[in-house]
Amino acid sequence: MERQNRVYWLTGLSGAGKTTIGRLWRDELRKNGQTVVFLDGDEMRSVFGVGLGFNGADRRRLAESYGRLCALLAGQGVTVVCCTISMFHSVRAWNRANIPGYYEVYIEASMDTLRRRDQKGLYSQNADNVAGVGLQVELPDAPDLVLDNNGDKTPEQQVERLRAAALGLEG
């Protein structure tokens, strides 16, 4: 399907659909014989975030660690699907400059959609440490692909859009 060291960086606010789309994409890549590591921001926080909070500085520190981990894995010939809020231009710029095969996917969803989904109960509060509510998010300037995920398409249809775009990378 494509080369083995691509990093798919799926970014968007909490509840946008990063993890759902990312897991489906991982499964698709594996069906095509690729060695794939799936990294989710919530799971990585439990590994790298011990002692860190949800303020801007701690979030930046974690996002920088995620990028370095992706670079390490990709350098060893592994395809990486990384799902993270990644709310900083500087993090995404570092990724683009330092990760060969970096492919950024912005999963966009309106605040109304996010509040309706609100699986974690984040948007029902006015917490200062919620990205997009109390914490300003620097939205991606030039993602490789934008997926509008306000409910008009199923997660499977979103993965099909990603697949079509990813196939164009190698053509």
Our answer to whether residue 14 is catalytic in this structure is: no
* From 86, 90, 110, 124, active-site residue: 86
- Burial tier of 79 (Cβ tally within 10 Å: 0-12, 13-18, 19+): buried
Dihedral in degrees, nearest 10, Cα atoms 152, 153, 154, 155:
-120
SS3 readout for 79-120? EEEEECCCCCHHHHHHHHHHCCCEEEEEEECCHHHHHHHCCC
Q: Are 147 and 162 in contact (CB under 8 A)?
A: yes
Pair of tokens at residue 74 = 């990709």
Q: Which residues make beta-bridge pairs with 79?
A: 36
Give percent helix, percent strand, percent coil of the chain, each to the nearest 5: 45, 15, 40
What residues are annotated to the active site?
Answer: 86
